[in-house]
């Protein structure tokens, strides 16, 4: 992995992180003026990291100054293991529970959200719109997903989201 990403339920911690990352830039002044509230714990989901001790060490070396700058801490969390032990549903294998996430979620949404555009384009120009092969593939996969399948996946995602946010 060569790209860091930040996700958080509480955006109050990000000004301190940005101050640290941009301490030698003009942006530092802007970040210094933003408020920081309360203790924060950075959750470090080990499920998304390869079994490469060097990369894991780089991540931990990165988190050390971030946690010092924010006055926070970080904790490794194995989401799959936690789900297996505390899942609110019968299916204890998270991979299996969310198996159709991409097809029934992303591809269906990509297909449906551009449906009106595709139809108008065909009506006006007599042919499908020119899109990248990746978008065309998403649409091909998404058109075969029934609304009921998408609805079931969304219920599963809501259950996962509620479970995760309660952790």
Confidence (pLDDT) at 141:
93
pTM of whole model > 0.85? no
pLDDT in tens, 52-86: 778 888 888 888 888 887 778 888 889 999 999 99
Distance of CA 109 to the CA centre of its chain: 16
**Weakest-pLDDT range from 28-42, 76-90, 126-140, 152-166:** 28-42
- Paired with 41 in beta bridges are 73
The predicted structure's pLDDT at residue 1: 42
Q: ∠ CA 58-93-101 to the nearest 5 degrees?
A: 80
Q: Is the dihedral of CA 58, 64, 3, 159 positive or negative?
A: positive
pLDDT at 126 over 90: yes
- Whether residue 124 contacts residue 134, with contact meaning beta carbons closer than 8 Å, is answered with no
Q: What pLDDT does 163 receive?
A: 93
Residue 117 near residue 129, CB atoms below 8 Å = yes
The pLDDT confidence band at residue 125, using thresholds 50, 70 and 90, is: very high
Q: In this predicted structure, what is the pLDDT of residue 41?
A: 82
Residue with tokens 């789900």: 83
Domain ranges of the chain: 11-77, 83-166
pLDDT score for 19: 61
CA atoms within 13 A on the CB side of 74: 20
**Residue 54: what pLDDT?**
84
Range in 84-93, 95-104, 117-126, 129-138 the model is least confident about? 95-104
How far apart are alpha carbons 165 and 167 in whole angstroms?
A: 5
**Mean per-residue pLDDT, 119-143:** 95
């Amino acid at each position: 992995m060569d790209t860091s990403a930040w996700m958080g339920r509480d955006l109050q911690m990000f000004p301190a992180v940005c101050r640290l990352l941009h301490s030698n830039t003009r942006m530092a002044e802007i970040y210094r003026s933003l408020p920081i509230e309360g203790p924060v714990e950075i959750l470090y989901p080990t499920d998304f990291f390869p079994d490469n001790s060097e990369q894991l060490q780089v991540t931990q070396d990165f988190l050390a100054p971030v946690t010092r700058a924010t006055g926070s801490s970080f904790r490794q969390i194995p989401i799959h293991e936690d789900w297996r032990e505390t899942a609110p549903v019968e299916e204890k294998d998270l991979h299996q529970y969310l198996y159709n996430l991409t097809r029934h979620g992303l591809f269906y949404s990509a297909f449906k959200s551009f449906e009106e555009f595709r139809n108008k384009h065909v009506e006006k120009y007599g042919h499908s719109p020119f899109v990248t092969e990746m978008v065309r593939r998403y649409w091909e996969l998404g058109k075969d997903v029934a609304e009921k399948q998408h609805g079931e996946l969304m219920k599963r995602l809501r259950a996962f989201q509620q479970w995760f946010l309660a952790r």
